[in-house]
Structure 1
Amino acid sequence: MENRIHINCDLGEGGQFDEELMPLISACNIACGGHAGNLETMHRTVRMAMENNVEIGAHPSYPDRKNFGRNHLEMSEKDLKLSIEGQVLSLKQIAESEGGKMNHIKLHGALYNDAAKDENIARMIIECLEDLDENFLLYVPLKSKISELAMGKFDLFFEAFADRNYNENHSLVSRSEKHALITEKEEVFNHVFSMYNDKKIITYSGVEIDGKADTFCVHSDTPSSVEIIDFLHKKFAEKRIGVKNT
């Protein structure tokens, strides 16, 4: 198959399906101690990714394990930069110690959302990553502040979410809303195929917005995540579209 779709998944977060998900995806974003994860889980997840030819990425967050990194955390610029730097370098060093290489960085949770809409936080993150002086690919949300500020400074992968509903301003529907998640596999496929094939997101309100993306995320803690990604494989294969790296 010549056409490929790129699917990523957040792993190493303590979920029970990591081993089943890893062979089905193109890239993994590994929790590196902020919202979840420790040295043992990072080593294990890196090894699993290498065994399955899956791209390895760091998944830094606010250092807030209590709330799984899903709440905004007030931090000084210095402390935020030190936290992100520590998380990213920890995963990088572990990947290299296992004979692998870190490919990309994707922010997690509230930090991801804050960087999408808050220019000051986006600037701090970009400055921090620039100071690392590494040529990492950066996953960024569509129509976001961080994508605007990072353009020309990093190679960017625009990300869309397979299992989340969108608002008309390209933000994700809040997890506090009952319709935030898309959990039916047929609905997930239709959502992803619209973005992949037509470059359009159908928002929860039914409005079409621009949706061109390089990679599509399925969350490992979404109910039936393994079934969903397996279904995506089958439906895309019917259209002669493969999943990269699988």
Structure 2
Amino acid sequence: MALRLVQVNFKARDDAALGRFWAEALSWGVSSEGPGVTNLEPEGFVWPDPAGFYIDIVTVPDPETVNYRVHLELATTSAAHQTELVARLKDLGATPADASQDADANQDDVPWTVLADPEGNEFRVLEPREIYRDTGPIAAVVVDCADPRAMARFWDEAMDWTLHEVDDDHATLRSAEGVGPYLEFRRTPDTKTMRSRVHFDLLPYPIDDKETEVARLRTLGATDVDLGQGDVPWTVLADPEGNEFCVLGKG
């Protein structure tokens, strides 16, 4: 098994503008820009550093027609840092999101803040948590799902990341090197009915092993997805709950 999660991919109306927001929000650099595509990377990393985690933003004609199954959660180091970060993000163009839409917002008061970026992608700014002290600015990439145990089984076998915990409501994985954000699956009553605005990109190593890895993923339960991508060097698949992801590489 030789696949790692290297980046999340955002669909956007304006990749350059959304890229500027997230680069400023995370204090990351813009590693490359092309027609309709903006790539972001943390300072000190060059793609595809195995310890790095990246963001890819791609302009598409209809990002608003898809749903929000995946979101980012940002780490903070103190209450003051959380307050400062929320204020700075609002200055950059983030807006308060409807907390009633937050799957965990069944409490009257929660310690995190739910915001939306300039294109409406919701994310959380978390209160300080010990578990996220060394993740960098992104604490976790969170996926809403119906069955965290089943998702954990698939993704634990799909990638070389380490499964840290799993129960009926929640599952957590992280890079085997113990660096970067966590990948978390949280149970929600909602069902997936359309494409997601945010998806994962996986990279095989060596990169020439893409076709072998794609075949292995199909045996684990991944299915092929036709998004009209045509002849591209990556393969689009979906996990057992229909969340699209791409396997990058050659072939």
TM-score (norm 1): 0.32
TM-score (norm 2): 0.31
Whose helix fraction is larger, Structure 1's or Structure 2's?
1
Whose strand fraction is larger, Structure 1's or Structure 2's?
2
